[in-house]
């Protein structure tokens, strides 16, 4: 571990900006940043969370020890070619892990041994570097999915960064990550989007929203996320998601049949099982203001 | 309108208790209450939100001007026979409105002209009179579904009560209420229960819950509600709910097909439509701490 690590952040939005803010607060990091939007970089500099901005990607790789990609997954093919000479550790923050692995192996395979794909399981409805929050990752899990060939000192370096940000670091395989996240995040978002879309399609949209009780309010909050980001997540985690949709549809169909048959006993059993799962979930949550 | 209205509450749980607390705070009401659980009544009395408890239902009807039923819908057949001699206005707080209408028309048809079915669109994960909150209904809508034969002074009396509690009163037909609530509340709850149940059924339950991101957390919060209450809601609003499940399943199947075909454009359009609906929803929300 170096005394002062030089970290380059590509993409200075909410996530990239919050990483910058948290690492500056930790006082052991020198923060470099590149964003296609020069006003985002200027704002990052004026907020004091970026030490040096890089108007082009060309100068960034040679200036830092670690590069963190915090841009949408669809930008990887345009970013990676600039990293051919990069000698440090590469990581990212994407919600699906297979795409970064595939992109690196195909575009810059020489980086595979220093690739540590990462996913901070945290989010916010807010956007942009102006909403950067040094505590965004505190108490949250960050999942790293290193490859078999990834060097252990590369993994340690990324662990150090996330620990500095107050996150709890765990490791799992790429495939396992993408399966688990399809269950806990991608399918719920897909259901929320679908429900809001279905309800908005009914005759008097205003009325549907006016009488929205707790149930729908929580759903629609989920559906407030960035459509393009979620489209990319759904498409890049397609296989796991499609399997899950099938499982969910079958379960919904079963519940529907229980209601149709007015099978109160079986219905109660099903609802009680779900409540028990939720109660268990609540019991294992860390004590943090965000839960 | 009378100077001091005598209100009888049957069922002193969170909703009944919060009505009692709110009306006592409004200072123009004399609160009577009956509950099968004598400790709930004792607690209500010690909290100062009930003026007189009725250990049996027999003495309540003749002591009050308005009776509010705040018990589960399945208790109606055992409660209504005690109201044969009741001369005041009858209302309830159920989430589905057809059952109270059917029960009154079949058991105590003489009350139909003084029946004002009601539904406060508010809720909480908490339970019991101990969680009673005088402000639970403030800024929330209360939907009244009077019958064609309901007398206008009966409607006015119930409007007065809810206005005293800070709620906004609206009127609609029984059938329309049950349709709209199936959309905004019953279907979302059914989806949440189903998702939590499906995920809990996967191999490592602990893991699924540990990595739960925003999406799943919001869903599982919904599924924390009382299973027996929701079973009753699903069964009593069966027709509207089954129609909606079918519509939702078809939409989910369409989205699934878009993902399978990797139709990025159509998928973006669908997600953007949902986000626009959510944004509209947010814009019409009243400014209250609960939204």
B86-125 core/surface letters (b: 16 or more CB in 10 A; e: else): bebbbbbbbbbbbbbbebbeebbeebbebbbbbbbbbbee
Task: Give the total number of structural domains in chain A.
Answer: 2
Q: State which residues of chain B have pLDDT below 70.
A: 1-3, 123-125, 203-206, 212-215, 217, 281, 284-291
Residue A215 DSSP SS3: helix
Q: Is there a single domain that holds both residue A74 and residue A48? A: yes
Q: Is residue A214 part of a domain?
A: yes
A-chain residues near B243 (CB < 8 A): none
Same domain as B168, residue B184? no
DSSP-based three-state secondary structure for A63: helix
Distance in angstroms (rounded) separating the CA atoms of residues B72 and B114: 21
Tell me, yes or no, whether B65 and B185 share the same domain.
no
CATH number, domain with residue B184: 1.10.3660.10
Q: How far is A144 from chain B (nearest CA, A)?
A: 13
Same domain, A159 and A64: yes
Q: How many CB atoms lie within 10 A of CB B27?
A: 8
| CB < 8 Å & 24+ apart, contacts of B196-199 | B196/A274, B196/A277, B196/A278, B196/B220, B196/B223, B197/A251, B197/A270, B197/A273, B197/A274, B197/A277, B198/A247, B198/A248, B198/A251, B199/A183, B199/A184, B199/A277
Residue A290 inside a domain? The answer is: no
Check whether residue B165 and residue B260 sit in a common domain: no
Residues of chain A found within 8 Å of residue B248, distances taken between Cβ atoms: 194-195, 198, 252
pLDDT of residue B204: 63
Distances (CA, A) of A56 to A33, A43, A80, A81, B236: 10, 17, 13, 13, 63
Of all residues in chain A, the one with the smallest CA distance to B254 is A194
Could you read off the pLDDT tens digit of each residue along chain A, which spans 291 residues? 446 899 999 999 999 999 999 999 999 999 999 999 999 999 999 999 999 999 999 999 999 999 999 999 899 999 999 999 999 999 999 999 999 999 999 999 999 999 999 999 876 667 889 999 999 999 999 999 999 999 999 999 999 999 999 999 999 999 999 999 999 889 999 998 898 888 887 766 667 777 765 567 677 777 777 889 899 999 999 999 999 999 999 999 999 999 999 999 999 999 988 888 777 767 766 544 443
Distance CA(B151)–CA(A43), nearest Å, equals 64
Contact (Cβ atoms closer than 8 angstroms) between residue B41 and residue B130: no
Residue B101 forms part of a structural domain: yes
Return the structure tokens found at A101: 């692995």
Q: How far apart are CA B191 and CA A248, in angstroms?
A: 9
Q: Which of B265, B281, B291 to mutate to test the interface with A (most CBs of A within 10 A)?
A: B281
**Which pLDDT score is estimated for B171?**
96
Residue B291 lies in a domain: no
Residue A119 placed within a domain = yes
Question: Residue A92 has which token pair?
Answer: 């990212």
CB-CB contact of A41 with A34 (8 Å): yes
- Residue B290 in any domain: the answer is no
Q: Are residues A127 and A207 in the same domain?
A: no
What distance in Å separates the CA atoms of residue A256 and residue A50, rounded to the nearest whole number?
Answer: 54
Which residue blocks in B108-186 are alpha helix, DSSP H? 152-164, 174-181
Residues of B in contact with A207 (CB under 8 A): 180
Give the Å distances, CA to CA, from B186 to A88, B69, B96, B164, B180: 53, 21, 10, 28, 9
- A28 and A159 together in one domain: yes
Do the Cβ atoms of A209 and B281 come within 8 Å? yes
Distances from the Cα of B61 to the Cα of A58, B1, B84, B147, B162, angstroms: 82, 19, 9, 22, 20
Residues B65 and B209 occupy one common structural domain: no
- Test mutation, B126, B199, B239, chain A, max A CBs within 10 A: B199
Helices (H), B10-146: 14-26, 38-46, 76-79, 98-107
Helix residue ranges, H only, chain A: 14-26, 38-46, 76-79, 98-107, 152-164, 174-181, 187-200, 205-210, 214-222, 227-236, 238-260, 264-284
Decide: helix, strand or coil at residue B67. Answer: strand
Last residue of a domain, which of B118, B153, B172?
B172
The 8-class DSSP code of residue A285 comes to S
Q: Which domain holds residue B88?
A: 5-172
Are A106 and A52 contained in the same domain? yes
Residue in A188, A231, A249 closest to B264 by CB: A231
In a domain, A35, yes or no: yes
Q: Which of A172, A207, A229 is the endpoint of a domain?
A: A172
Together in a domain, A150 and A125: yes
Give the DSSP H/E element, type plus range, for residue B265: helix B264-284
Residue of B nearest to A269 (CA): B227
In this predicted structure, what is the pLDDT of residue A30? 97
Main-chain phi, psi angles of A142, to 5 degrees: -120, 125
Residues A50 and A160 in one domain: yes
DSSP 8-state assignment for residue B215: H
Residue that terminates a domain, selected from A146, A172, A198: A172
Asked if residue A291 belongs to a domain, the reply is no
CB within 8 Å: A221 and B218: yes
* A-chain residues near B195 (CB < 8 A): 187-188, 191, 248
- Are B222 and A205 a contacting pair at CB < 8 A? no
- Give the CATH number of the domain where residue A154 resides: 3.40.50.720
pLDDT of residue A290: 42
Min Cα distance B105 → chain A (Å) is: 23
Task: Examine the domain organization and report whether A142 and A28 are in the same domain.
Answer: yes
A212 contact residues in B (CB cutoff 8 A) = 184-185, 281
Question: In this complex, which of B207, B249, B268 lies closest to A249 when CB atoms are compared?
Answer: B249
């Amino acid at each position: 571990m170096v005394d002062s690590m030089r970290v380059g952040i590509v993409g200075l939005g909410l996530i990239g900006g919050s990483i910058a803010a948290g690492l500056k607060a930790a006082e052991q990091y020198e923060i470099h940043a590149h964003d296609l939007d020069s006003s985002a970089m200027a704002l990052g500099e004026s907020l004091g969370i970026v030490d040096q901005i890089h108007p082009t990607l060309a100068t960034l790789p040679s200036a830092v020890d670690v590069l963190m990609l915090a841009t949408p997954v669809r930008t990887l093919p345009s970013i990676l070619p600039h990293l051919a000479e990069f000698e440090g550790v590469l990581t990212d923050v994407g919600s699906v892990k297979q795409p970064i692995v595939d992109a690196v192996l195909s575009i810059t395979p020489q980086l595979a041994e220093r690739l540590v794909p990462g996913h901070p399981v945290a989010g916010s409805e807010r956007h942009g570097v102006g909403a950067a929050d040094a505590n965004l990752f505190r108490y949250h899990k960050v999942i790293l999915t290193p490859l078999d060939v990834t060097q252990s000192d590369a993994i340690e370096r990324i662990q150090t960064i996330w620990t500095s940000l107050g996150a709890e670091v765990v490791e799992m395989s790429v495939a396992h990550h993408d399966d688990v996240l399809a269950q806990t995040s991608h399918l719920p978002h897909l259901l929320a989007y679908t429900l809001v879309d279905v309800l908005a399609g009914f005759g008097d949209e205003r009325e549907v929203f006016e009488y929205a009780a707790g149930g729908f309010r929580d759903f629609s909050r989920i559906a407030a996320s960035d459509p393009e980001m979620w489209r990319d997540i759904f498409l890049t985690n397609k296989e796991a998601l499609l399997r899950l949709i099938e499982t969910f549809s079958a379960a919904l169909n079963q519940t529907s049949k229980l209601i149709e048959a007015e099978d109160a006993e079986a219905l109660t059993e099903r609802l009680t099982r779900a409540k028990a799962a939720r109660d268990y979930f609540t019991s294992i949550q860390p004590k943090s203001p965000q839960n």
